Amino acid sequence: MVFSSLTFLFLFLPAVIACYYLLPGIRAKNAVLCLFSLLFYAWGEPVYVLLMAASILLNYLAGLGMERFPRRKKLLLLLALLFNLGAIGVFKYAGFFLSGVSSLFALNLPVLRIALPIGISFYTFQILSYVIDVYHGRVAAQRSLLSLATYITMFPQLVAGPIVRYDTVREELRRRCVTVNDFAEGLCRFFFGLGKKVLIANQMALAADAVFDAAAVPSSAVLWIGALCYAMQIYYDFSGYSDMAIGMGRMFGFHFSENFNYPYIADSVTDFWRRWHISLSVWFREYVYIPLGGNRCSVLRHIFNMLVVWLLTGLWHGAAWNFVLWGLYYGLLLILEKHVLGRVLPKIPKAVRRIVTFLLALIGWVIFRVENLSALGRCLAGLFSFDFSGTGAFFLSSSNALSPLLLLPVALLGCLPWKHRLEKRFGHSAAFGALKLVFAFLLWIASVAMLLGESYNPFIYFRF
């Protein structure tokens, strides 16, 4: 079940809101969220609820054990890490690893095909943040199994983030309240996210799929347009989902951290990753990069740290070689910025830096989108073939690709921080608040109308 489905919008979400607000007391409300979250997770693959339940119980006991038996806390942390990383390793990476070993050593190993539990990359990282923070004494172990289960299973951010660290919501798990203004703000944020997903991302996906799923590699111009459409698709898809998650969290009294901050206006690759999927970047910085030594080390050691982090970042997104290349691509770009261009970049006009960063991001999205390595090589070569022939004919021949291009200017405009500036200037005005709510409601109507009329509703990060 995805947020942009009619089942979720008209059955699941109204039911959980009604039960949540009808039952008094924080424990009852947590129980409602936990039970509905398990139902949400079990909707498509009920067997994996058992894996999640085992993970909750094991990490709950590990947290309590670290405080009660401090001399054994390293062992308990190791056991928790082995279970959590072992689970994601088996379900997400075992087939990829066996396939790689089989190809490398010319072995005839069996092909391992295991269905990937939805959202396992997201909720595993949340669980890891909890046990690691308890180990280091940053947070106290959660005494309530229900509260910890609510944190881990919470459906708004269960399958696609943002990755919520336990420390962010630990107080709200035991005490929170929702005002009418909070609920209205959350609902408005949800409607905006739904509009981004259904009205823009789904349409951009049609054009991107037409380009990258074509039988033959299109011309250079078509590939760049396809990369641009995919950049819009993945941004509106993922940021829209994050908006919906943050909005629903607000409706239930939780304040999740922002996950996007207009990444396509970034003026460097470093700046891009401060703005894109912020919760993932923060997680890798806190739990991998800094423990490895960060930048407080020699140049060679820092390069090593960066490559490790970005290799893991690529693999986190998927068990395929193109994700490994995508991670290393960004790792090398960031190393280049830090150790080669550090003094030069500030002297380059910001407009030029923004254009170059955006073009580098487009190339990165091509690597991310095309999983077949031979097809990826042809696409990357095609980007720089400077062949502009047949561009119009390509899109005219595809009934699905032409109409989304008309929406492309709107999508590009939405990547600019005009909404943020309007809210900063007029946010305290009651008239502006009412206008924003009306606009959000219109987005809701348009989104539902689109969902009723079309069945194409992909979600990129659902598989992670």
Q: Taking the chain, what is the end-to-end CA distance rounded to the nearest angstrom? A: 15
**The dihedral sign for the CA sequence 431, 437, 443, 448:** negative
CA dist 453 and 5 (Å) reads: 12
CA dist 11 and 39 (Å) reads: 13
Cis previous bond, 162, omega within 30: yes
Q: Active-site residue numbers?
A: 317
